[in-house]
Each structure stands twice: as C-alpha cells, then as structure tokens.
A and B are shown apart, each in its own frame.
Chain A
Amino acid sequence: MQALYAQLLVGLINGSFYALLSLGLAVIFGMLNIINFAHGAVYMMGAFVAYFLLNVAGIGYWPALIIAPIVVGIFGMILERTMLQWLAGLDHLYGLLLTFGLALIIQGVFQNYFGSSGLPYSIPDELKGGMNLGFMYLPIYRGWVVIFSLIVCIGTWYLIERTRLGAYLRAATENPTLVRAFGINVPRMITLTYGLGVGLAALAGVLSAPINQVRPLMGENVIIVVFAVVVIGGMGSIMGSIITGFALGVIEGLTKYFYPEASNTVVFVLMVLVLLVKPTGLTGRAA
C-alpha cells in the first residue's frame, strides 16, 4: 500500500506540472492560434533563471517563484513581438515550425554551456522534511507543489472565465476584429497572453527545479506528454486542460504501480482512444 500512495503522489506532482504547462498551451492556442512547441524550452528557462538567481545573485526560492516567471514571460513577449505576431492568419504549420525551431535553439544554447547533466537546486529550508500521515510519508515540498499548482491553475481559470479581463480574452479568441473595433488594443492583449502562458510554464520550471534538478533538456520529455494531455483535454479549454493534466498524472502514477511496463505509454494509448471516439478532445470545442 505504501508504494501505491507513493506512486499516487508522484502522479499528482507530475500532474501539477502537466496542468500548469497544458493550461499555458491552451491559453496561447486560444488567443494566438499557435501550438507553442517552445513551451518545454521556456519551462526549462524558468528553472535556469531560478538557478542563476540563487547562484549568481544569491536570490532564493521564494523571490525566484515570482521573478523567474516574469523574466521568462518578458522573454516570451519579445519573441511574440518580433516573430510570432507575423504568423497571424497563416497555417498552423508555420507557428509549429517557428516555435519548434526556437525550442531547438534555446535548448541548444543551454546545452552548449551546461551540458546534459543536472544542476542541483535545493529545497528551501521552510519546505524541507516531511510529514507522517499515518498511511504514508509526505515530503512537504511535494505537497506544496501540488497545492500551489492547484491554486495557480484555479486562479488562472477564474481570471479567464469570471473576470472582465477574461471576458475580453474569450471574446478576442472568438472575434478579434470586432473586439478591436470596440476600442480594445487586441495586439497588446495577444502579447500579454503569450507572456502569461510562457510565465506559467516558467513557474512550473521553478517548482520542478528542487525535484527534478535543472537540466537543459528537462522540458523535452515532459512536453511530449503535455501535448498528449492537451490533445486529450481538448485544445483551448481551460478547465479541460487543468483537469486532464492532473488526471493523467495520476493515471500515469497508478500505472507505475499496477503495470509499470506501460507507465510511459499509457498517456499515449489514452490519447489514441480519445481521438478515435472524440476527435476534438474530451472538452474541446470544434475549431
């Protein structure tokens, strides 16, 4: 039983990262109509910014949790202004190629300087240690990651689905021309949205640094699963991507316990099944 709970926790942790990443992808896809293949690279950048902050400037985990997403978000907004904005109205393929190329370049640069091995990033003192829950031992940092991710996801959902700013966002996803004709600066909103999506990925990167270490290719493995999550949950659905992210993490964890051989493929098997039955994803709206 101990092992089952442990896998369940690992599943929830991975689910947290999947949810944060697929949420960002969904927001970006809704607004920019771009499938952001650079998402894994910016996730990695988030972890590296936290690493630099600590080792170059002596700035610790807590400020990094805020600074890294902002720094990487600004980097993303510069990419959007200088490159992505010119792809508006073109086929998805162009956005895919450009962001994929950007991902390779960014990862290549980091690999050139830091190799492929992991750099350590330690758990902040406040979150060290663990709790004995009776049925299992819970490392505090891991519990924190799950709860904090959940709060951020729900906060983002609330922002988009329940606030005035979110109404602009949803409306601009549907008909950007008309929203602009009402006097809203839609191009600036698109830039900020890309920054938000990228910032969420960077936040996931910071959260993951103490657990998975900081590696130039850390985004590469996770992003493939995240794309499967997005496909299963349905492109462009906010709540769908959050729930699917956590659920698939848990399913993956459970598979590790019951049938470890399939744990790396279970997500993709599910993706195939969902696509066969419901090609737009579980909660997706038809494009």
Chain B
Amino acid sequence: MTPFEELHAETVLNKTRRHFFGQIGVSLGSIALADLLARDGLGRLNAAEPVNPFAPRPPMIPAKAKHVIYLHMAGSPSQLDLFDDKPELRKFDGKECPKELLEGKRFAFIKGVPKMLGSPYKFEKHGQSGTELSQLWKYLPGVIDKFAVLKTVKTDQFNHAPAQLYLHTGTNLFGGASMGAWATYGLGSENTDLPGFIVLTSGGKTPDAGKSVWGSGFLPSVFQGVQCRSEGDPVLFLANPKGMDQAGRRRTLDTLKALNDRQATELGDPETVTRIAQYELAYRMQLTAPEVMDISREPKEILEMYGAVPGFVPDSDAAADPRTAYKATDATFANNCLLARRLVESGVRFVQLFDWGWDHHGASPGEDIVNTLPIKVGQIDKAITALVNDLDQRGLLDETLIVWGGEFGRTPMAQNSPNQFAPGRDHHPYAFTMMMAGGGIKGGQTIGKTDDIGYYPVERPLDVRDVQATILTLLGLDPYRLIYPYQGLEQRLIGVEGKGKVPDGLIG
C-alpha cells in the first residue's frame, strides 16, 4: 500500500497506532492521527509515535505565522462607509440605480429599482502608505501601515449563513471543516494544556450559521473550535462541582488513575492508557485555562490600551434584540481581543472572534449605517489597534496573522424596504474589503481596486478562496495538499475544484 492508502486504511480501522505500542502519552484515541497527517505524502511525522492531537507538528512548507487571530464581523460591515471611498457614488446619491447593475442579479432584500447611496462619512489618507480610511476610525489610522487592505474580495454566497460557512469551512453547505480545525489538524498547537482552536463571541449572538462555522465537519471532532466564555466556566465544564476544591479533585483523580492503571494492565487496551492521560490533561487544563483567560491579571495600562473591562456584561445582552441596545462603550469585543493575545501568547494556534451585529440594512432600529455603524466601529476600533500594537511590542506580531472582515460586503445602493428606518445597504458579494496584518503579511499596502461606485473589481479581483489559501500558506500548510478524503473526494479548505492562490505581493 502507498502511505496514502495505508493511512486511510488505518483511519478507518478506528484504531490508533498506539495499539501497536501501548505507550503512555496523549493520543487521539481512535484516530491514527500520524497516519492522517502523513496524507500529504511528506511523512511529516513518524507514524509509529504516539500522537497528541494538539502536539505541534512541522509545517508542510516554510511557515511565516504560528498563530492566527481571525476577527469576523458577522453580518458584514459596509466597505463603502469604512474603507472604499467613492466620490462618484456620493454624486449619484439618491439617484436611481442604473438598470444594467440590476439585470440578472439576485439581492437579499432590494426590490425593484433602488437608489444609490453615497457614504455620509468623510475619508482621509493615513500612514506612510496613504491608505484611505473613513472618519469613523479614530484609532486604526495609527496602525494602518501594518495592514494589507484587500478591496476586491468576492464570495459566491449572498445570504449570511451560507456565506459564513463558505468563508470559514470552504463550502456553503453544512459538513465542511472550519479553517481553525484544518489548522490544528495540520499543525497541532503549542500548548497542550489548552484547546488548540478557541472561539470567542460578542455582539450578543453566535454567528448566523451557528457553531458549524467553527465545527470540525468531516474531520475528527477533537479539532472543532472550543468556545470560551466570559460568563460561567471559561471552558465548558472546566470548574469542579461545588464542594470540591482542586486538592479534592487531585485526590479523586489519583484514585481514578490507580483503578484505570489496573484496568490497563489487566485488559491490555491501549485506549485505557490514553484515557488516563486525557484525565491528567483535563486536570492541567483546569489549572491553566482560568489563569490564561483571566484578563484582570493584565496591568491597568494594557486594559486601557484595549478598552478592556474585566467582568464586563453588556446591558444589550438582556435586550430582546441586543442591537437596539448596543453602546460604543461595550467592552466585550475589547476583552476578547485582549484574551486573544493572552491565548496566542500561551501558544494557542487559532483564535477566532465573532462579533455579531454588522448587518446594516437600515430596515429597523439597531441596524443602519448612520446610527449603528458608528457604535459598532466604536466597539472594535481601539481594541483592534491595541491588539496590533500589543502583539508588536511583545514581538508576537511577526508570528501572528490577524485577519479582519465580514462574510460579504454591502451594496452601493440603498436598501428600499417599505418600512425603511434609516439608510442602510443590502448584501453585496461581488467586491468587499478585508484586512490582514502580521504573520508574514506585507503591511502598508492596498490590493485591488473597485469601480467608481464600488460595485465590481476593476483591478486585481480577489476571492474568498485566496484569503483561505493565504491563511493556510502563511501557517505553512499547502492549501492544495492539505486534504482529507471524504465522500469520494479529496476535501480541501479551498474547495475540491482547487481555486485560490496567495495574491502577489501580499506576503512580505
């Protein structure tokens, strides 16, 4: 058998290599992970060694980044009011949209002939790069030279849930593996006392497509993102039950281990040995995670730098519709950014932040570009800027890739719902802005240009696939060869048809 076939065979046997050897260590249990990882044909691991699913693994290709912090603005912010200034569009503000832009197009909410909507915000050039930013950004200009701004990203999907799935799992259907799952599957993590892929949410809701956007899909469930929380246990079920302190837990685990050791000796099942190790790992996680996740340990100046407020609980969480109660002083996203830095500093491979509340149609209160957008930018502006500076001052920015964006963009036309509440824009998949910094990205540049109204790319069209390919490549994973056979196909984050390339010049 070829290595490929061999590993495939092993996988499906539902057994580990550790069954051969029965060595003590942490293993994936029923998956021959070493075999899975040998799939790329490079034999990056000795298949005979016991494998911890999160043990660091050598990259397939030279890596520029060790960690990713992905900041997803769920709902999709308006690129036209934040990054892509269109004076022409302002000129046509209130005029009917030309028919040719509507023909053959599907919109989520726009009906009939909508009117064009110029941005109410002023733009200025910032930094040495002269990158254009809207007046809504107060802090970002200070670090804009660290960012590459991608203005022509296109997606295939124009509804939230499918577009989020497409971006994060490579397919608009459920069942795909998320990019954090791919990353930890391919590389493991650098701190085995913590999950390798951690998810933090803000905005009062989980993303539209639900927890599948950080799911493991067809990959083993051990690679799914672990949602950490600011209320209750930082990791679900981490805290001992009431009435049991850590010494008591240690004492019970010692007995459990003694009895399980006995079982391992008697029956010779290596899986028992693995289970013993998992309980020890759980214990270490109980000690490590609360400490790492406790942002109150940060000095005052760092908290202020991010605008973080330990223990902050937003009022909006209690509202029936949290968007109507959003405040710019909401520290949840800032807390998550600071926590993301602490996690990366502790060696976590992939940290993903989902901030909900960016779907600014203007059809009802709490979701328009005049009232809500400034509040949402206020919640993230200082924190993102601080994250870049903080990583930089710790020497972590070079090895940490930061990605910022939504699942699509917003239309140059105003939405025209019968009950329109305030100016807003519909979903726009043809060109939207994303940003990347750190982790090997060449900052201080803008890639791609859209037409005069920001409808289509006119220079350097990019695709969500390119973003996926870039993230994997920077991590040292070949987006074409990082595969997993499932349903008769070689599944990849960039899709089985294999599109997606790193845009020229994006990597420094």
A and B together in one complex = no
B→A interface (CB under 8 Å): none
